[in-house]
Amino acid sequence: MTHSTGRTVTANLGLTLDGRYNGPGGPADMGAIVRYATTEVARDHLTRIWEGATTALLGRLNAEGFLGFWPTVAEDPNADPRDRRYAQWLVDTEKVVLSTTVAEAPWERTRVVNAPAADVVAELKSTGEGDILVNSSPSIIKALLSADLLDRLYLLICPEIAGGGQRLFDDGLPGSTWKLTRQETGELGETAMVYDRVR
């Protein structure tokens, strides 16, 4: 049995009222979510998400998108200070990218792993300290929900119905109970919520 250091496994994602993380146009269709991501409530929520994390666990598509965008924000003196701090954390922190197609990490402090998410999390929990953040990577979040390995969910619920697109909570997940530990509603009606797994 693998020794565990007691690291908390957390995940963050923006969802529409109908539970979707993108719209009917596919992964690039983020219109129902993206406008809520820059509100005061959303930015404060983002800060809470990464502050305790020392490892970012990402899927390949998210890694490519994030690491193509956020390093420029870290260098931008005109960016919101909360965005800059998150961007700098993402640049500096340990990153683990799950991929079956990329062999070498094109970014610093990053390793690419071709293994099931549950196995990678078990390995990460056996060493180090600090939270392991599944950073807006729905495929990994789904896999860890299936394996009941998530301890905390940071959700930004956006007050729109997408009417199509991919859902986070698919049928067939094992039943689980969660406790709402924080809730904050912003000016556009977006709600930032933190749920902790009750075990």
Domain ranges for the chain, please list them.
Answer: 9-198
Helical H segments across the chain, by residue range:
31-34, 40-51, 60-74, 81-92, 117-125, 138-146
Give the pLDDT score at 5.
63
- Say what the pLDDT of residue 62 is: 86
Instruction: For residues 22 and 166, give the distance between their C-alpha atoms in angstroms, rounded to a whole number.
Output: 6
Give this prediction's pTM: 0.93
CA proximity to 138, closest of 41, 5, 16, 36: 16
pLDDT of residue 109: 93
Q: Give mean pLDDT in consecutive 10-residue pieces for the chain, a chain of 199 residues.
A: 74 97 94 94 96 95 87 93 95 94 86 96 94 96 97 98 96 96 97 98
**pLDDT of amino acid 4:** 59
Q: What is the pLDDT of residue 20?
A: 97
Strand order in the sheet with 53-59: 110-113, 94-98, 53-59, 131-135, 9-16, 152-158, 191-198, 177-185
Taking residue 106's Cβ as centre, other Cβ atoms within 10 Å add up to 11
Strand pairing of 191-198 and 177-185? antiparallel
Q: Which fold has domain 9-198?
A: Dihydrofolate Reductase, subunit A (3.40.430)
For position 6, what pLDDT does the model report? Answer: 84
